[in-house]
Amino acid sequence: MNKVIAIVGPTAVGKTALSIRLAQAENGEVISGDSMQVYRHLDIGTAKVTPAEMAGIPHHLIDICTVDERYSAARFKAAASQWIADITARGRLPIIAGGTGFYLQALTENLALGSDHFDDQSAAIRQHWNQVAAAKGNDYLWHHLAKIDPAASQQIPVGNRRRLIRAIEVVEKTGRPFSSQPQSAPQDDFLLIGLNTARPVLYQRINQRVDQMMDQGLEQEARWLYDQGGADLPAGKGIGYHEFFPYFRGKVTRDAAIAKVKQDSRHYAKRQLTWFRNQMPVHWFDLVSGQDRVEDIKAFVDDWLRK
């Protein structure tokens, strides 16, 4: 089995920087596990690693989609698996960096996601349940799923609207529970490194990051996306973008839009932590408070690689 490092945790906690330092120390290459960094032209709001920050380390699954393309866990799993095999074959260590929980779980546990084919029936089902969720909330989706597939509802957080709808879609299309999908043994050996810090410190870092993004041109980037079709595009659902659309329509103030980006980012960080703590076997480190833990993490990784 190929050995793979995965660095997980909430937004703004330092996953990108650690992935590069580990790649330098371990002869590695980085695979993005982020569902938004795949989109070209969306650099600031996705906190996409810059060429200077890459420090010569090859990065993969970044800038591979146009903003009107649909990206999914199934597509990520297939592409990441190919890169893991390729990087390992060249004698280097694959390092996944990203915070999209279900994507990483699908890869590390080799979940059977089925076909990524997006046919008319799937589109109609998803459109219907997205409209239901917009009107009645995710709680309604979760309770509906609990009635038709109780086992699946216990595995999917209420906040994960996309996966709730996906589970309902499978039941409606196939007549079989989403939870009955066949599972395969993991193809690779993963070590999950989780980064976290005290909640007030994390929230302060998130707020500061949004302020930095504004200085870098986040509003202009969101405006560009809005002009391409905005909320009707797959990329238009991303945090840091959709909060500006009401502002562009004259419905809210600029300050309110910025405050909403910060709020949504903080809420997302909380959901990320909940997911990784409850769904995946993560080894946690605090890189922000107190002493630098990078050397401790390197030693932990070295010991795991030798086993």
Query: Known binder of ligand: residue 11?
Result: yes
237 is in an annotated binding site: no
Place of tokens 């050397």: 295
Order across the sheet with 189-196: list the strands: 59-60, 28-32, 93-97, 3-8, 189-196, 283-286
Does the annotation list 132 as a binding residue?
no
- What is the distance between the alpha carbons of residues 62 and 81, in angstroms, rounded to a whole number? 15
Cα–Cα distance measured from residue 146 to residue 143, given in angstroms and rounded to the nearest whole number: 5
Tell me the Ramachandran region of residue 8: left when phi exceeds 0, alpha when psi lies from -120 to 50, beta otherwise. Answer: beta
Tokens matching residue 255:
């300050």
13 labelled binding-site residue: yes
10 is in an annotated binding site: yes
Binding site residues for substrate, as ranges?
A: 11-16
Binding site residues, as ranges?
A: 9-16
Binding site residues for ATP, as ranges?
A: 9-16
